[in-house]
Structure 1
Amino acid sequence: MATYFLIIIYLAFISLGLPDSLLGAAWPVMQSDYEAPLETAGLLFMIIAAGTIVSSLASGAILKRFGTGKVTLVSCIMTAGALLGFSLSPSLVWLIICAIPLGLGGGSVDAGLNNYVAAHYKAHHMSWLHCFWGVGATLGPLIMGQFITGQTSWRDGYLVVGGIQFALVVILFLTLPLWDRVARSSKGAANEDQGNAEHLMAVEADSSVKPLQIKGVKLALVSFLLYCGIEATVGLWGSSFLVNVKGISAAAASQLVAIYYAGITIGRFVTGFITFKVSNRILIRGGQITALAGAALLLLPLPSGFSFAGFMIIGLGLAPIYPCMLHETPVRFGKKHAQTIMGYQMAVAYTGSTFMPPILGFLAAYSTIGIFPLYLVIPAAAMLLFSEKLNVFLKKNGLKENYS
């Protein structure tokens, strides 16, 4: 039953990825229809991100009160309704209004599903979970592209994706009783690691300790902020760097950025198999070193072909980091506080992806987009540093390697 139920969770994560890339794909046409300034897309993105951050921060209390199944159901209803609202919006004001539930719906379900899988399934399922997010993020622009290149409107693209979300709502409603049943019958990979028992008992024994007061949590939060900032920065500014600095055509540059995202998706699929033999911690470290090497390659004055290699290396390096860090949450900090800490991690992650790319744009406006590789190398090195500091701390406090 747990395996079949996992398929439902995978479908939920595909639906979570579907709306994430729709706005960017549709905005050139939407901008013309609304006669809006180019930067309006940035405003909508910020509103969606703000809603996601708020719901991620509140997800710990909400999930404890209502449970993952009910929160996921309500969040998907909000997301589906918001997408339907986008398809019907007569003005920019309505787009802004619909952007609020779109963001709020995404944060809680993201934190809830990540914590549910971390608590009740093994590490390879977490990697595959985020692989399916990549499937959704890739399908979104493909679906929208079919409508904006034909005789139909971008509104139909939003309507179709909203319909997919409503179909998931029906599935979630019908399977709602299974959530608690699977949670009771499943054993999380973190609980199977007996070598970590003393550490987890020590963390959970003191109920007066708040999640942010647990030692090591802040180091983990910084790592999440830097990771998502790097991932979003490459996606937003990679094409501009290749065109303006490396002299690559816009079409080739956009294809390379698509390959970068495909590298993350494929890398996470492969990582799911590697986790059978290699611990999360080793995969995190290896991914961070690989991503740093790819960013450093872009710094070197080499022919454009090496830039292709650099982007691919960055994508493959980033692939295991995020899902493996998420899966380590209950192992690092105890299952008692894992749900709340997971929400904090989601909020900080979205903060990084929201603010780091615009900061590069601001700096590039006063200098050049040529600073792009350096802007990646510095946070990549910092992420590796903070992650290793956390590993040293956990080792000193009795947390052994987790080979789940």
Structure 2
Amino acid sequence: MNDGTPGAMVPHLESHYTLPYSIVNAFVSRGWNWWAYYYLMLCLAIAAAATTIWSFWADSGTGDNTSSGQPHSFTLSVFKDKVTLLFSAFMLIYVGAEITIGGWLVTFMLNVRNGTPSASSLVASGFWIGITVGRFALGWITSYFGERIMVSAYLVIAIGLELAFWLGEEFVVSAIMAALVGVSIGMVMPSSIRMMTKILPVEKHIVSVGFGTAFAVSGASIFPFAVGALAQAGGVQVLQPVILALFAVQLLLWLFVTRMKLDRDEDSSV
């Protein structure tokens, strides 16, 4: 996706988001104290603050094209935009599915697949590594065939792999399927952001993408909590049907919202 177009670097930047998940389970399984995590996060926060200040020191924000006219009414109109709301819902469900898998995978492998704590932690790391690999490796093919087709394909593949994970009772099979699910969904979030910028007018990009990604973060708490509530009643094996349902809803939303782009393209060509 690094082709010089807007959003080309999104998958590479998004891939760094999953790197901590890839290594934290390995640290925990090797006896790290839980509070050592906060020392690491403090160092990373200081580094992030320093690089952010350095990167944007000379920027004044005067080029913001929403600053003239009625900025508050413009922002409110963006929140009423159908495309923005649909993409926000799509990203909410994606983040919810991603974090739910990563958060409950160790428990599932321990209780359902009878794995050891160390091996189960490695399976979770494999899932996050899969997402990282997917975002690094699949950018070019996604750019070549287009986000609309490829995200649909990725979600269909993810549903098939998740079914194999659910029905295959061997620990090794489940571990491989978990990593492949990670690879298959790796490009979904970056591609949805890029498609959002293709459908929406330029003046709505900052507010709409910002709202969509911020709204999506709430999925990281809603869906894992819901799975926990279901697991209390029916056991952690409810994880797989819930994830399959979330993938299916994502696919339906994606087909619907990308159809809106086709309709707009046809209208503009008339």
Class of the TM-score when normalised by the shorter of the 2 chains: 0.7 to 0.9
Q: Aligned-pair distance for 1:363?
A: 0.8
1:190 paired residue number: none
Match of 2:217 in 1: 350
The alpha carbon displacement at 1:396 in A equals 1.6
Determine helix, strand or coil for the equivalent of 2:242. helix
Aligned with 1:158: secondary structure?
helix
CA change 1:291–1:399 in 2 (3 A) is: farther
Question: What pairs with 1:214-229 in structure 2 (closer than 5 Å)?
Answer: 214-229=81-96
TM-score normalized by the length of structure 2: 0.81
Q: Does 1:169 align with 2:55?
A: no
Cα distance 1:330–1:123, how it changes in 2: closer, same or farther (>3 A)? closer
**Residue of structure 2 in register with 1:129 after alignment:** 13
More moved, 316-325 vs 121-130: 121-130
Residue 386 in 1 paired to residue 253 in 2? yes
Q: 1:281 aligns with which of 124, 127, 148?
A: 148
Aligned partners of 1:351, 1:270: CA distance in 2, in Å? 28
- Counterpart of 2:189 in structure 1 is 322
CA distance in 1, matches of 2:255, 2:152: 8
**Is residue 233–residue 356 contact of structure 1 (8 Å, CA) maintained in 2?**
yes
* 2:127 matched residue in structure 1: 260
The answer to whether the aligner puts 1:360 opposite 2:227 as a matched pair is: yes
Structure 2 CA distance for aligned equivalents of residues 228 and 346 of structure 1: 9
Alignment match of 1:271 (pick from 134, 138, 145)? 138
1:230 paired with 2:97, answer yes
Structure with larger RCO (C-alpha < 8 A, sep 6+): 2
Taking the aligned partners of 1:364 and 1:143, their CA distance within structure 2 comes to 27
RMSD: 3.1
% same residue: 18
Q: Which runs of 5+ in 1 are unaligned?
A: 1-119, 185-206
- 1:257 maps to amino acid: A
**Deviation (angstroms), 1:387:** 0.7
Instruction: After TM superposition, list the pairs within 5 Å mapping 1:5-404 onto structure 2.
Output: 121-138=5-22, 148=32, 154=35, 158-177=38-57, 179=59, 210-398=77-265
Tell me, in whole angstroms, the C-alpha distance in 1 between the residues paired with 2:165 and 2:28: 32
How far does residue 180 in structure 1 lie from its aligned partner after superposition? Answer: 6.7
Q: 1:336 to 1:252 in 2, by over 3 A?
A: same
Question: How far apart, CA to CA, are the structure 1 residues paired with 2:26 and 2:119?
Answer: 18
Q: How far did 1:222 drift?
A: 1.7
| 1:140 Cα deviation after fit | 6.1
Q: Which amino acid aligns with 2:230?
A: L
Alpha-carbon distance in 2 for matches of 1:160, 1:388: 41
